[in-house]
Structure 1
């Protein structure tokens, strides 16, 4: 039987390790639109503890889904081989196969939603706006936009004029710039007195992340700084920085947005230099927050280790706060992958991690209040983006398994979850490993991402902020943290993430506010 699409469901683990159930749905016939349910009940050895049992079933499930078997025989053989050679803790598996009724069928997502979205099938005004927002605070030329979107310059110009009419973009000399009139202050001046000097720096990457952060800064003013001179009037060419300054609690803060992020030479240089310039211009900085969206690394059986969309993960040295894989280790003789070359980053001062660890229910309550306040302020400002929480049923844990198939897994905390949650753990990222990937690039990258997360205990994956953390460390800032609002289950930047990105950004920004309010008084 060849499957056209697939759905896999794993029920929440029960208190007895003998009652771990995996339910597999597969589209039996695309023309009939029928789904087949395959139920797997695991019986573990008596000497296997509950926590170990969770890990065993989790790893069994991941390996079964890696290159998902496309017919009955392959599926059964895969299960038997895994039991025989790798999972001695499993004593027996009972399986039941049956067709589900129409009422029980589940809509299976399109696998294309879960890639990085590098191919644009049909360019829209939204794509052009997104390119402008990624480049902000820098301007960008029409030829560069056309090349990035793989379309004609005429198409780009048409959409730019449409955005200009809406007040979203404007032309400056030979470049186009995303307009942020809501925050720009023509009379803002750089701080002079010691009491005006910021002690907290907040760095974001996406435009929606910048908006979410700015909304939670009190008494704010925003300036466009270029070539060491504060300007209200943007000029084209070269690097530009936008600084939002104000107050959170007893701390003066300064926030900025990176123009580029990733592992290309241009992006690495830009992100690192913007961070270094920020910390050089404001030399009283004691704490730095790198804030924005990310992707959760799902856990299929342990609710405590499973983060969901709208949750926030704060970097903590467990064992490393941030870990970046800059290359793969390849065996010279066999040319086979053998590991990851990584850089590990940890703050010297763990005050941020301790605030979150000791915050308890009160911190979560304040975080929910700050989120509501931030979303209200953003909508009051007539932003064209909805920062509200999307419907809960859109939080689908969908895992591409190759061949255009998608595995959908119920969350292990589906029945017990009361609301968005806060997590501490390792945040990580990988460089672009295209030269090592197979023909199906997205499947291959997904496998590497899963191996990376498993090996280093990564809880969230982001777009890659290695050069930013290097600049923070090089500037001798002892206290820093990554704050990641969860937008998908990949890296925060997939097509599927677009629905939750804005709310995840608002969640991350709200967590920064709550933590800053609890930081020690400025020295």
Structure 2
């Protein structure tokens, strides 16, 4: 007899019924790719009335070493959104291959993803320009998680160390950029949320020149641990609204920042809840 091995949690956020599951594994091995894609396909097959898909978890930030407004720090959240200055309005771009060319630049082989409907991105933008609910949801989450194993509060700021790759496996630590002119210092002032494409792909997500070059090419402010198989399933099941929300736990792809992972995951979940709560009520 076939038995469903995935665990689904059903609940309500605002006016919407939601279903969640945890991906069994992610990465570029055949087993990981198959498992992640199959889990998504199975959920969407069982719950066929799902209209909106949120991919929520941790990721690696793309820091800017001089501009405070463009700088992504640990504990921030990146919501996958199109770059305003690019004609192709993808929200996630997966790099399968990156090679240096004869001119000193890079040639990329990519798979871009964009929703047919940008409702979720539009709501995130509107919330970021108002007094958002996600700060309250972070506080609410901390209360609910009281007593649950793990450090859900943000670690000490001194643990957010920013380093520059100077080649041959060497790094130097530098200071985070400070606000300049009319830029507002958000330190201690609530969750910082950025809207930009999210990128993936082992060819570019590691530290080094390729990582920075591809992030600039794609306008990405975050990398994740390769969710292209999941997005293939989402698009293949004709889900027109989807978004990736990444809480920043390190400066690579979200897999190494163990100290920041719990809080980053909570921050990403708070942003997701705020977006769902702001969605228009269902019509049926």
Is TM > 0.5 for Structure 1 vs Structure 2? yes
Q: TM-score, normalised by structure 1?
A: 0.49
Q: Offset of 1:363 from its aligned partner?
A: 4.4
2:16 is aligned with 1:246: no
| Alpha-carbon distance between aligned partners in 2 of 1:241 and 1:345, rounded to the nearest angstrom | 26
CA-CA distance at 1:384 after TM superposition? 1.7
Change (3 A) 1:507 1:338: closer
Match of 2:253 in 1: 491
Question: 2:28 matched to which residue of 1?
Answer: 263
- Paired position in structure 2 for 1:321: 91
Deviations, residues 197-220 of structure 1 (Å, cap 9, x unaligned): xxxxxxxxxxxxxxxxxxxxxxxx
1:417 positional shift: 2.6
Aligned residue for 1:277, secondary structure, equals helix
Superposed displacement of residue 424, structure 1: 0.3
Tell whether the 8 Å contact from 1:295 to 1:492 is kept in structure 2 after alignment.
yes
Deviates more, 1:510-519 or 1:296-305: 296-305
- Alignment check: 8 A CA contact 1:263 1:432 kept: no
- Mapped to 1, the partners of 2:223 and 2:39 lie a distance apart of 22
- For 2:79 and 2:281, how far apart are their aligned partners in 1? 21
Of residues 364, 374, 377 in structure 1, which corresponds to 2:141? 374
Task: Give the secondary-structure state (helix, strand or coil) at the position aligned to 1:291.
Answer: strand
Alignment-derived partner of residue 210 in structure 2: 448
User: 1:295 matched to which residue of 2?
Assistant: 60
CA contact (8 A) 1:430 1:449 kept: no
Taking structure 1 as reference, are residues 337 and 265 closer, same or farther at Cα in structure 2, changes over 3 Å only? farther
Partner of 2:76: 311
| 8 Å Cα contact 1:375-1:387 kept in structure 2 | yes
Aligned-partner Cα distance in 1 for 2:261–2:99 = 33
3-state SS of 1:499 partner: coil
> 1:311-358 CA distances to partner (integer Å, 9 max, x unpaired)?
111000214200000123476xx8x98411000000111111111111
Q: Higher mean Cα deviation, 273-282 or 396-405?
A: 396-405
Residue 423 (structure 1) aligns with? 194
C-alpha separation in 2, matches of 1:289 and 1:302: 30
Give the secondary-structure state (helix, strand or coil) at the position aligned to 1:502: helix
In terms of fraction of residues, the more helix-rich structure is 1
Q: Distance in 1 between matches of 2:158 and 2:186?
A: 13
Q: How far 1:255 moved relative to its partner? A: 0.5
Unmatched 5+ stretches in structure 2: 84-88
Secondary structure at the aligned position of 1:242 is classed as coil
Pairs within 5 Å for 1:49-448: 227-229=2-4, 240-318=5-83, 319-329=89-99, 338-360=106-128, 362-364=130-132, 366-379=133-146, 382-403=147-168, 405-413=170-178, 416-418=185-187, 419=189, 420-431=191-202, 446-448=208-210
State the Cα distance separating 1:269 from its structure 2 match. 1.0
Higher Rg of the two aligned structures: 1
Select which of 448, 465, 472 maps to 2:234.
472
- TM-score, normalized by length of structure 2? 0.88
State the Cα distance separating 1:447 from its structure 2 match. 2.2
Q: Distance in 1 between matches of 2:216 and 2:12?
A: 39
- Structure number with the bigger relative contact order (C-alpha 8 A, sep ≥ 6) is 2
Alignment-derived partner of residue 501 in structure 1: 261
**Residue 361 to residue 337, structure 1, CA distance change in 2 (3 Å):** closer
C-alpha distance in 2, partners of 1:328/1:414?
A: 34
Kindly provide the CA deviation profile for residues 112-169 of structure 1, in whole angstroms up to 9, marking residues without a partner as x.
xxxxxxxxxxxxxxxxxxxxxxxxxxxxxxxxxxxxxxxxxxxxxxxxxxxxxxxxxx
Q: Show CA shifts across 1:455-491 (max 9, x none).
A: 2211111111001111001111111100000111221
Residue equivalent to 2:86 = none
Partner of 1:20: none
| 1:268/1:467 contact within 8 Å kept | yes
Q: Secondary structure at the match of 1:307?
A: coil
* CA spacing shift, 1:309–1:520, aligned 2, 3 Å: same
